[in-house]
Amino acid sequence: MRQLVFILVIAGILITSASCVSDPVSMMGCHFRIESTSDFHLAGIDLSDLEELDVNQTETVTAALESGDCQVAFVVNIAARNPDNTGDVTIQDFDWDALVVAQGLYKYACSGGITSSVTLGDDETLLIPGALSFDAADMLYPDISAEGIIEMCLALGGKNRNLRDSDHLGRLTLEVTLAEDTPLGLILVVEPVTVGLDWVQPE
């Protein structure tokens, strides 16, 4: 009888473990969205307080694009929320492909990820900062004109950068791959999560 009980307990543990591994979303229950951007630089020009570029700045960006070296660098702040009151969640991997929209075109810009794990407590929301950088001359130009690149960068990084609409912050989306650190080990969420203006949850 004791042997039977022992076998049943072990079987229950295995079934529970298998359920957790095959359904990591139920363990995470987190939501994500792009909250803001900051420290946006285009060809060395700080866009933070700008609504438009002057003639000299426009010439600088255009020359950089034509030379084949026009660096874009900024910080994207990703909001992560754990609303389910199921205990702490430790996000070990948060890797993304960043896509931008300009002149009606969706273009891959760069890849990146967090450099250290993030732990969310019950009913907690945190900002996860991520550094993005890419060469607009290589990734966007000439499919997108100099004017289109400047307009997109000002929308994402200029004075009105944090307006939550498709013409500003909505120009950026992240295709995110997640992994959670659990007592069972690292669990990967297989389907990428498209993180943008609205709260999303892994499916």
**Helix 55-67 and helix 146-157: axis angle, to 10°?**
120
**Does 144 or 10 have the greater pLDDT score?**
144
What is the pLDDT, as a whole number, of residue 122?
87
pLDDT above 50 for 16 = no
**Does 2 or 90 have the greater pLDDT score?**
90
What average pLDDT score do residues 19-23 get?
A: 34
What average pLDDT score do residues 15-43 get?
A: 68
Label residue 191 by pLDDT band (50, 70, 90).
Answer: confident
d(Cα 202, Cα 157) in Å, to the nearest integer?
Answer: 28
What is the pLDDT, as a whole number, of residue 15?
34
Label residue 14 by pLDDT band (50, 70, 90).
Answer: very low
The DSSP code for 10 is H
Specify which residues 107 forms β-bridges with: 100
pLDDT above 60 for 195 = yes
pTM here is 0.83
Q: Which of 22-31, 89-98, 112-121, 147-156 has the least mean pLDDT?
A: 22-31
Handedness of CA 110, 104, 197, 38 (dihedral sign): positive
Structural tokens at position 176 = 């995110």
Specify which residues 124 forms β-bridges with: 82
The amino acid sitting at 90 is T
Q: Are 167 and 100 in contact (CB under 8 A)?
A: no
What is the pLDDT, as a whole number, of residue 186?
81
What is the pLDDT, as a whole number, of residue 184?
77
d(Cα 146, Cα 52) in Å, to the nearest integer?
Answer: 13
Label residue 188 by pLDDT band (50, 70, 90).
Answer: confident
